[in-house]
Structure 1
Amino acid sequence: MDYDILIVGAGPAGLCLARALSGKGLRIGVLDQQPEEALAHPAFDGREIALSQRSAHTLRELGLWERIEQIEPTAFSQLRDAQVLNGPNPLGLVISHALSPRSELGWFVSNHLIRQAAWDCVQDSIATHQDITLLTGQKTGRVWSDDHAAHVTLEDGRTLHSRLLVAADSRFSGTRRAMGLAADMYDFGHSMLVCCMLHQKPHNHVAWQWFDYGQTLALLPMNDDPATGMHRSSVVLTLPSHAMDPVAGMAEPAFNAEIARRFAQRLGSMTLVSTRHVYPLVGVYPRSIVSRRFACVGDTAVGMHPITAHGFNFGLLGVANLGKAIVQAHAAGQDIASPALLQRYQREHRIATRPLYLITLGLARLYTTEHPAAKVVREAAVQIGQRFTPFKRAIAASLTSLR
């Protein structure tokens, strides 16, 4: 047997799982089609990741939090409060940290820094334990499993064998598909543009989710720009896909003015300070995330719409739960890929993720339709939510709880 565990995908979820399993007496392989240079030096991709308190705790346990602070001391920005706005109404639903026992609901940090820290921490594990093998620049061919092992052929002709195969290769996972696991996909017909911008007026570490008419805007507060001291945020603009190209392709001065206009000048003048990135919005929920000697983690297990900012949080939850189950089984001399273990992992993960996934689909549909009746329902829902404190307290608890 080549490996006890072979992980396909060296993104944050795959690398975090390898890190969590290192030092436990397991032989771990991590396979990715990208070259090592790209994985070792991930480029800025525009995405700011919202971390719940539980996810922040997991990153600290794995050593990523400290590593990120070493890379960029101002990387972690507080998510103090969150507000949801509808249409032109400046008053909306506010989720305050005061509803929780903490001084912040969570944190924001750039995705490329998480990727960098995960790679660096895996390198530390390799140096300390010599139990992780990185196989980069390798595309997979056939993937299958039997009662004894999972098998992956590579384009160079080799076949790898492992007691457990884990897919962490994106929501559109080729590995999951090769294993015969179907997934339900919902294409929202919209694209999301993300970038970093400076702005005149402060954000006070309040995140915005603004369902305006004809567009959706999000503002993810970052720490002030260390070079200029100006207020800084990650800006997310969602439009129907056919309407995105003209905006994304604007010259920088026109783009700055256009984004400030779309934010109704609520932040004053705005200035682009990063590259721009556009992503399609597609929700993915596999009908199963386990099979014989096979499991999915990260976006491969559930691909969330970013409206609820829980995609990476669910990814880390799956890593923590699957990793714990594997370590316990191995320590007890049990099969780390037994049907009972994998089914238990699937059951726990689906209970944790499916309700919010379905709620997210419903919210995204409701708050992106322009039907007059839907607009009335949208506004009523926001105002009722603002007046119903137990609802807001439940949202705050979901972000701040470590359980």
Structure 2
Amino acid sequence: MQNPRLNDVPASGESHDVLVAGGGYVGLSLALALKRGAPQLSVAVADPAPAGAASRDGRASAVAAAAREMLAALGVWDEIAPSAEPISEMIVTDSRTRDPVRPVFLTFSREGDGPFAHMVPNGALVGALSRAADAAGVERIQGVGVSDFSADAAGVDITLGNGSRRTARLLVAADGAKSRLRALAGIPTVGWTYGQSGIVVTVAHERPHHGRAEEHFLPAGPFAILPLPGNRSSLVWTERTEAADRLVAADAFTFAIELERRFGHHLGKIEAVDRPRAFPLGLMIARRFVGPRFALCGDAAHAIHPIAGQGLNLGFKDAAALAESVVEAARLGLDPGDGDALDRYERWRRFDTVQMGMVTDVLNRLFSNDNPGLRILRDVGLGIVDRLPPLKRHFIGAASDAGRTAPRLLRGEAI
């Protein structure tokens, strides 16, 4: 491996065993897991977002059963649970926008095994992780991100956005899909855009959803209705980018008409309760997840289509795997930035990430069109899955459970 960026400026400022760049759910869960597993480690999180920004995030995310087990093992799920809405059932339809009836081709449920996912407000998730990280002794550098770094055999020299300096034995980039640190490390990516954008908005409706999620496959892309507490739902609405830009810029009346065409009337009168926002969609996977004393985590390592709702859960898998690799190295008296520990993390996560990226890519290409031949093929396929309980259980397990080779945190076990 080549070193990231090297310079001759001497290190100065405070020193840490691990510094995490990015204070979202991935960065915070990683930092918390490291401190819980190896309290002797000095761990810091540099978050460019201002204090309290997370609590103003009105979006919500689907937390799968395995990720819920991880949050419980980290001691934060009890705080999050009151604001979470369990998803006990999911239906899948395939139709055109103008169709008056949307036949259900596939139904998922986990009766007796508990919900296969929960919808969790992002503010509640990040807030609980922040408080737990503070209590565990994680140093949080709020309002300042990492602007530059250089690495060598001895450690990482880090420059923060305010010009101050830190050193660390391991730097973790959890700074999002447009990761500045990934670029500084010279790690290339592979991927493509879909010409689609995901519109995210919260709606209120007259009738209760009873914990049911809905995935409507429409020609422009999936239209997902995800239950929130009360008579509210979170929408992830995929449209061609040009159409999405027009919709979020439209007046409230026009947006409401287009929303109703896709949402339907089964939950009564609906109303958008926040401002819709559109996010371009694509596939991006880093060609490497690690470098000398450097690791990518979460969206900095990968960004996938939301069609399977697995983006957040992939990030938690990264955090669990990296924490376990580093903690086990530390218990053996090894350097937290040890190359063997980082190589183990990369091997653990690369295949699963590429596999999930390809699955979401194929699903999006298969369902985001109005080709009559493909429509027949996919509807027959959905019907077969619905009529074969063992196959259906396999899909539910793949989406929600950890599996035997998963990191311990995702199985609800302490590191």
TM-score for both structures, normalised by structure 1: 0.88
Aligned-residue offset at 1:153: 2.1
Aligned-residue offset at 1:284: 1.4
1:82 match? 90
1:348 match? 348
In 2, Cα distance between equivalents of 1:381 and 1:266: 26
- Determine if contact 1:102/1:400 at 8 Å carries over to the other structure: no
Aligned-residue offset at 1:361: 0.7
In 1, Cα distance between equivalents of 2:42 and 2:197: 40
In 1, Cα distance between equivalents of 2:66 and 2:104: 30
Q: Which amino acid aligns with 1:242?
A: E
Q: Which amino acid aligns with 1:94?
A: T
1:355-370 alignment, distance < 5 Å: 355-370=355-370
Partner secondary structure for residue 56 of structure 2 = coil
2:412 match? none
In 2, Cα distance between equivalents of 1:137 and 1:153: 14
Q: Which amino acid aligns with 2:41?
A: L
Residue 171 in 1 paired to residue 177 in 2?
A: yes
Residue 120 in 1 paired to residue 113 in 2?
A: no
Partner secondary structure for residue 175 of structure 2 = coil
1:286 match? 286
Distance 1:303 1:215, change over 3 A: closer
1:53 match? 65
Partner secondary structure for residue 333 of structure 2 = coil
In 2, Cα distance between equivalents of 1:114 and 1:279: 21
In 2, Cα distance between equivalents of 1:148 and 1:370: 57
- Determine if contact 2:32/2:133 at 8 Å carries over to the other structure: yes
Residue 44 in 1 paired to residue 52 in 2?
A: no
Q: Per-residue CA shift, 1:279-315, capped at 9, x if unaligned?
A: 1112211111011111111112221211111111111
Residue 10 in 1 paired to residue 2 in 2?
A: no
Give the unaligned 5+ runs of structure 2.
Answer: 1-13, 404-415
- Determine if contact 2:218/2:369 at 8 Å carries over to the other structure: no
Partner secondary structure for residue 261 of structure 1 = helix
- Determine if contact 1:191/1:278 at 8 Å carries over to the other structure: yes
In 2, Cα distance between equivalents of 1:379 and 1:349: 32
1:21 match? 34
Aligned-residue offset at 1:198: 1.7
- Determine if contact 1:191/1:244 at 8 Å carries over to the other structure: yes
In 1, Cα distance between equivalents of 2:331 and 2:88: 41
Q: Per-residue CA shift, 1:161-199, capped at 9, x if unaligned?
A: 211111100022111121111111221111111121122
- Determine if contact 2:90/2:214 at 8 Å carries over to the other structure: yes
Aligned-residue offset at 1:14: 0.5
Residue 68 in 1 paired to residue 57 in 2?
A: no
Aligned-residue offset at 1:76: 1.0
What CA RMSD, in Å, does the superposition of the two structures yield over aligned residues? 2.1
In 2, Cα distance between equivalents of 1:44 and 1:320: 24
Q: Which amino acid aligns with 1:85?
A: T
- Determine if contact 1:193/1:276 at 8 Å carries over to the other structure: yes
Partner secondary structure for residue 17 of structure 1 = helix
Q: Per-residue CA shift, 1:60-103, capped at 9, x if unaligned?
A: 2223222334xxx3x111111122211154121112214xx503
Q: Which amino acid aligns with 1:189?
A: G
- Determine if contact 1:144/1:178 at 8 Å carries over to the other structure: no
Q: Per-residue CA shift, 1:147-167, capped at 9, x if unaligned?
A: 121222234443322111111
Q: Which amino acid aligns with 2:150?
A: W
- Determine if contact 2:221/2:367 at 8 Å carries over to the other structure: no
In 1, Cα distance between equivalents of 2:203 and 2:319: 32
Partner secondary structure for residue 55 of structure 2 = coil
Aligned-residue offset at 1:402: 4.7
Q: Which amino acid aligns with 1:53?
A: A
- Determine if contact 2:87/2:212 at 8 Å carries over to the other structure: yes
In 2, Cα distance between equivalents of 1:139 and 1:125: 21
Of 159, 163, 184, 2:190 maps to 184
In 2, Cα distance between equivalents of 1:364 and 1:214: 10
1:260 match? 260
Partner secondary structure for residue 237 of structure 2 = strand
Q: Which amino acid aligns with 2:333?
A: G
2:108 match? 95
In 1, Cα distance between equivalents of 2:284 and 2:368: 18
- Determine if contact 2:325/2:344 at 8 Å carries over to the other structure: no
Q: Which amino acid aligns with 1:25?
A: Q
- Determine if contact 2:222/2:307 at 8 Å carries over to the other structure: no
1:25-36 alignment, distance < 5 Å: 25-36=40-51
Aligned-residue offset at 1:253: 4.4
Aligned residues, how many? 383
1:351-390 alignment, distance < 5 Å: 351-390=351-390
In 2, Cα distance between equivalents of 1:365 and 1:151: 44
1:302-341 alignment, distance < 5 Å: 302-341=302-341
Q: Which amino acid aligns with 1:117?
A: A
Aligned-residue offset at 1:135: 2.3
Q: Percent identity?
A: 28
In 1, Cα distance between equivalents of 2:274 and 2:75: 28
- Determine if contact 2:76/2:132 at 8 Å carries over to the other structure: yes
Aligned-residue offset at 1:37: 4.4
In 2, Cα distance between equivalents of 1:305 and 1:193: 13
1:238-257 alignment, distance < 5 Å: 238-257=238-257
In 1, Cα distance between equivalents of 2:353 and 2:115: 23
Q: Which amino acid aligns with 2:125?
A: I
1:228 match? none
Partner secondary structure for residue 355 of structure 1 = helix
In 1, Cα distance between equivalents of 2:128 and 2:275: 21
Q: Per-residue CA shift, 1:295-341, capped at 9, x if unaligned?
A: 11111222121111111111111111211221221122112222211
Residue 218 in 1 paired to residue 224 in 2?
A: yes
Residue 159 in 1 paired to residue 174 in 2?
A: no
